[in-house]
Structure formats: C-alpha cells, structure tokens
Amino acid sequence: MGRILAFDIGRKRTGVAVTDPLKIIANGLTTIPTDSVVDFLQQYIDKENVELIVIGQPKHGNNQPSEAVKYIQPVVNRIRKVFPDLKIEQVDERFTSKMAFQTMIDGGLKQKDRQNKALVDTISATIILQSFMESRGFNKF
C-alpha cells in the first residue's frame, strides 16, 4: 500500500502533506522550495511507497484556472517527465489558504505564528489532501 502525497505549489514555496500508509488521515509534512519539488519527491520515493500525487490547482470563482497556473504547470510537467509511472491528480484548491489561516486562528496560534507563510503552505497542502481523500472515500469507516 502506498501513500498519497499532496503539493500546494507556490511561486517560491511548496507545502507538502502525506497520508498514513492506510490512507486514513492527511498530515502536514513540510514546506520546501518550489524549485526542489522533483528532488524532494525522488528522495521521498526512495524511502516510501507513493501511489498518487495530488496537486492543488488554483481557480477563480468562475471555475477558470488562475494566473498561478503559469508557474504550477511547469512543475507538474517536470514531475510527469521524471516520474512517468506515477499517477498525478490535480484538484481545485480554491480558498485553501484562507481555510489554512482560519485553522491557525481556530487552533489558537498567536498572531506572530500565523504570519509564518511556510506553515500556511503546509496546512493548505493538508487541507487539499484531506478534501481529496474525503471526496474519493478513502477515509470512510
């Protein structure tokens, strides 16, 4: 059984989340520089079995891709080229940054801690992954 990895790709940073081997829960893993996503993925795959990559795709309210696609799609294309056998799914990530920020508030983080953009990116990746899992019935008991 392989894990599912999720990426919230940003211009500079990428949040990473991962499932447990049974695909029951999503956990924030780390934040990495966007230009090192492929290297990170290679190192992770060398240690863990990964069966699927979920990548957030930002969209506008009218369901059209946002301008961010111009820096996300090259990363996706490179992952596909380097890992041709790895299944990749792109999912709508609208409002995940806002949800991540609200999660931080609800969790009682101090204002200074909420300014940590890397933490927001990791939480966003976790929300993307958890939403994907719920929509696909991975964590149903």
CATH of the domain at 85: 3.30.420.140
Residue 91 in tokens: 């999912």
Most confident of 16-20, 69-73, 136-140: 16-20
With a CB cutoff of 8 Å and minimum separation 6, the contacts of 127 are 96, 99, 100, 103
Residue 80 lies in a domain: yes
> What torsion do the CA atoms of 26, 22, 136, 47 make, to the nearest 10 degrees?
70
Residue 59, domain extent: 3-136
Residue 141 lies in a domain: no
> What torsion do the CA atoms of 112, 118, 124, 129 make, to the nearest 10 degrees?
-140
Q: What is the pLDDT of residue 137?
A: 79
> What torsion do the CA atoms of 121, 55, 135, 131 make, to the nearest 10 degrees?
0
Residue 15 in tokens: 């949040």
Number of domains in the chain: 1
Q: What is the pLDDT of residue 92?
A: 78
Q: What is the pLDDT of residue 3?
A: 96
pLDDT digits (tens, 9 = 90+) for 47-101: 999 999 999 888 767 777 677 788 899 999 999 999 999 999 998 776 566 666 5
Residue 32 lies in a domain: yes
In the predicted model, is pLDDT for residue 13 greater than 90?
A: yes
Percentage of residues in the chain having pLDDT higher than 90: 49
Q: What is the pLDDT of residue 120?
A: 77
6 burial type by CB count under 10 A (0-12 exposed, 13-18 middle, 19+ buried): buried
Q: What is the pLDDT of residue 135?
A: 82
